[in-house]
Structure formats: C-alpha cells, structure tokens
Amino acid sequence: MRRILDAHALMAFLEKEPGYEAVKTLFVSAVEKDEPILMTTVNYGEAYYVILRECGLGKINEVERIVEGLPIEFVAVDLALAREAARIKAKARMSYADCFAAALAKSLHGEVVTGDREFAAIKNEIKIMWLPR
C-alpha cells in the first residue's frame, strides 16, 4: 500500500515533534523496499510556506537539502487530482491542501500519514495512519 505524507507528517519529522519516530521508521522502510513515500506538490508547498514564514530563507534552504535526501516522490497536481480534492473539500471541513493528500490516497487506494485531526472528517473514505500527538 502506498503511503502519502501530508504537511503535518513532514513537519513532525523535520522538527522532531511527536510522530517523528514513526515517520523516520517509514522513511527507513521506504528505502529498504525501494518504494518512496508520496507527497503532493501542494502539501509540500504548505510545509514550505510555514517554514519560510516562521524561520526565514536560511532555514528553508537547509530544509530543502534535507528533503532532497528523503525517499519522497513528489506528485504534481493534475486536473483529475484537483477535481477529486475539490469534491472532498465540498463535503468535508478540512483545509484545501489536506484535500490533495486525501485525493491522492483515494485515487491510489493508499494511506495518508498524518497527525492532523481534520482528516477525521473523511476517515470512512480513506485509510489513515495516525501519528501520535
């Protein structure tokens, strides 16, 4: 089953917050199995802007170097994924960016890795690996 990171999971890893160990274990497994973890470009953009806003350009450059070494495959958003994210957003109270991770998980029958409780709104539609808080 493909795993999909949302911004929360990436941030937990980068900031060594609750969920860090679980995400680290997923990265190790992804390398061992040669099966990268997926992340939409929208979700990466969400993490990027938070880091840039809170920590500045110097930190974002450091983070980009770290992320380049991680077993993450970035999925560009196409029209089909945008439509599915919009369908999810129309019926669920969650951020639009989170809807992209959910849409990718739904389209691939994958599992979203997150600690963001907004995903509870669609817990019956997709698989979710809940990170500790």
Residue 133 has a pLDDT of 82
CATH number of the domain within which 84 lies: 3.40.50.1010
Mean pLDDT calculated for residue range 99-115: 98
pLDDT digits (tens, 9 = 90+) for 26-46: 999 999 999 999 999 999 999
Cβ-in-10-Å burial (0-12, 13-18, 19+) of 52 comes to middle
Region of 46 on the Ramachandran plot (φ > 0 left; ψ -120 to 50 alpha; else beta): alpha
pTM above 0.85, yes or no: yes
Number of domains into which the chain is organized: 1
Q: What are 13's two structure tokens?
A: 């890893």
Cβ neighbors of 63 (< 8 A, separation 6 or more) are: 14, 48, 51
- Domain with 32, as residue range(s), is 3-130
